[in-house]
Amino acid sequence: MQFALTVPADLRWLEGHFTEEPILAAVVQVREVLGFVREDWPDLPAVSRIKRAKFRQPIRPLDRLTLRLKRKTDAPLVTFEYARDGEVCSGGSLEFE
């Protein structure tokens, strides 16, 4: 699955996270991924761990992103990747119980 997203400049999750140069915290990125996962795959149980997470490039207000999600068919695992202009900003895997 793939989603086109734009980070709103007034997103409350940006408040207090580096006042001079706000960025979207890693925990918020994972939270957003979980929101899409819950909508598209409500059968998945609770997350048990985050695997291989890498946050390479900061995500800033007004960034236009592509979020890619892929569910493994043979395991309770979803991989995610945020990209900006084709360059990966962050990604990882969520393992479910």
CB 52 within 8 A of CB 92: yes
Per mean pLDDT, which range of 3-17, 41-55, 65-79 is the poorest?
3-17
Here the tokens at position 53 are 């997470």
> Which residues constitute the domain of residue 50?
2-96
Q: Strands 77-84 and 87-96, how do they pair?
A: antiparallel
pLDDT of residue 17: 65
The total number of structural domains that make up the chain? 1
Q: Phi and psi for 24 in degrees, rounded to 5? A: -85, 115
Mean pLDDT for the chain overall: 93
pLDDT of residue 25: 92
Enclosing H/E stretch for 67: strand 64-71
pTM: 0.90
Q: Where are the alpha helices (DSSP H) in 1-97?
A: 26-40
In this prediction, residue 15 has a pLDDT band, given cuts at 50, 70 and 90, of confident
Question: Buried b / exposed e across 65-76, counting CB within 10 Å, b at 16+?
Answer: bbbebebeeeeb
Give residue-wise pLDDT tens across range 18-59: 768 899 999 999 999 999 999 999 999 999 999 999 999 999
pLDDT of residue 90: 98
How far is 57 from 82, CA to CA, in rounded Å?
A: 10
Q: Strands 87-96 and 47-55, how do they pair?
A: antiparallel
Q: What is the CATH number of the domain that holds 32?
A: 3.10.129.10
